Amino acid sequence: MSDNKDGEEVSRPWQSYHTVFTNAKAGMDGVDKEKVQKIVYEMSKGSKYFENEERKEAFIKQKIENMRAQCAKLTVMDIAHYQTVADKKIAELEVTRDLSKTWLHVDMDAFYAAVETKENPSLMGKPMAVGGMSMISTANYEARKFGVRAAMPGFIARKLCPELIFVPVDFKKYTHYSELTRKVFHKYDPNFIASSLDEAYLDITEVCKARGISSEEIAGELRAGVFEETGLTCSAGVAPNRMIAKVCSDINKPNGHFVLPNNRIAVMTFISSLPIRKIGGIGKVTEHILKDVLGISTCEDILHKSAYLCALFSHSSIDFFLSVGLGLGRTDTPQVRSRKSISSERTFSATEDEASLYNKIADIAESLSSDMQKEDLRGRTLTLKLKTASFEVRTRAVSLQKYIFSSEDIMHHGSKLLKAELPVSLRLIGLRMSHFHEDKPSPDPLQRTLTKFLISGNASEHVTHDRNSMGSESSSTFDVSDREKGLHGDAYRTCLFDADDEYDYGDRLNPQQSSYFEHNSESSYINAGEIEKPYLRCQTKVNNPERTGHGSPSKEVGDLKRVDMESSSVSGQSEATYVQRFESGANILHMKATLPANEKGQSLWVDDYKCSLCGAELPPSFVEERQEHSDYHFAEMLQKEESPENCRVSIQRSSQKVQITKKNGQKKQKTSLKDSKHIPIDLFFVKSNQNF
Ligand X SMILES: Cc1cn([C@H]2C[C@H](O)[C@@H](COP(=O)(O)OP(=O)(O)OP(=O)(O)O)O2)c(=O)[nH]c1=O
659 binds DNA, rule: CB under 7 A: yes
Per-residue binder mask for DNA (CB under 7 A), 291-320, x = binder: -----------------------x-xx---
Query: In this complex, which beta carbon is closest to DNA, that of residue 6 or of residue 54?
Result: 54
Q: How many CB atoms lie within 10 A of CB 542?
A: 16
Q: 503, 516, 525, 684: which one contacts DNA (CB under 7 A)? A: 503
Minimum Å gap between C-beta 354 and Mg ion is: 42
- In contact, 249 and 258? CB cutoff 8 Å: yes
Does 645 qualify as catalytic in the annotation? no
Q: 56, 172, 176, 462: which one contacts DNA (CB under 7 A)? A: 56
110 binds ligand X, rule: CB under 6 A: yes
Q: Which helix (H) or strand (E) holds 482?
A: helix 480-488
Return d(Cα 62, Cα 311) in angstroms, integer.
19
156 binds DNA, rule: CB under 7 A: yes
Minimum Å gap between C-beta 265 and Mg ion is: 30
112 binds ligand X, rule: CB under 6 A: yes
Q: Pick what 488 binds: DNA, Mg ion, ligand X, none; C-beta below 5 to 8 Å, kind-dependent.
A: DNA
275 DSSP β-pair partners: 298
345 binds DNA, rule: CB under 7 A: yes
109 binds ligand X, rule: CB under 6 A: yes
Query: How many helices and strands in the chain, by DSSP H and E?
Result: 24, 17
605 binds DNA, rule: CB under 7 A: no
Return d(Cα 460, Cα 527) in angstroms, integer.
10
381 binds DNA, rule: CB under 7 A: yes
Return d(Cα 400, Cα 394) in angstroms, integer.
20
Return d(Cα 357, Cα 424) in angstroms, integer.
10
Buried b (16+ CB within 10 A) or exposed e, 93-122: beeebeeebbbbbbbbbbbbbbbbbeeeee
Q: Pick what 383 binds: Mg ion, ligand X, DNA, none; C-beta below 5 to 8 Å, kind-dependent.
A: DNA
Sole window of 51-59, 104-112, 456-464, 639-647 interacting with ligand X (rule: CB under 6 A): 104-112
Query: In this complex, which beta carbon is closest to ligand X, that of residue 261 or of residue 551?
Result: 551
- In contact, 449 and 513? CB cutoff 8 Å: no
Neighbour-count burial of 20, counting CB atoms closer than 10 A to its CB (0-12 exposed, 13-18 middle, 19+ buried): exposed
- In contact, 83 and 141? CB cutoff 8 Å: no
341 binds DNA, rule: CB under 7 A: yes
Q: Where are the alpha helices (DSSP H) in 327-444?
A: 354-374, 407-419
Minimum Å gap between C-beta 27 and ligand X is: 7
Q: 127, 153, 154, 254: which one contacts ligand X (CB under 6 A)? A: 254
Query: In this complex, which beta carbon is closest to Mg ion, that of residue 174 or of residue 692?
Result: 174
672 binds DNA, rule: CB under 7 A: yes
Sole window of 92-100, 101-109, 177-185, 568-576 interacting with ligand X (rule: CB under 6 A): 101-109
Looking at 199, 438, 473, 556, which residue is catalytic? 199
Q: 60, 64, 67, 108: which one contacts ligand X (CB under 6 A)? A: 108
- In contact, 445 and 567? CB cutoff 8 Å: yes
Mapping DSSP onto H, E and C, the string for 202-257 reads EECHHHHHHHCCCHHHHHHHHHHHHHHHHCCCEEEEEECCHHHHHHHHHHCCCCCE
Q: Pick what 342 binds: DNA, Mg ion, ligand X, none; C-beta below 5 to 8 Å, kind-dependent.
A: DNA
- Residue ranges binding ligand X (CB under 6 A): 25-26, 107-112, 137-138, 150-151, 198, 253-254, 550-552
- Known catalytic residues are 199
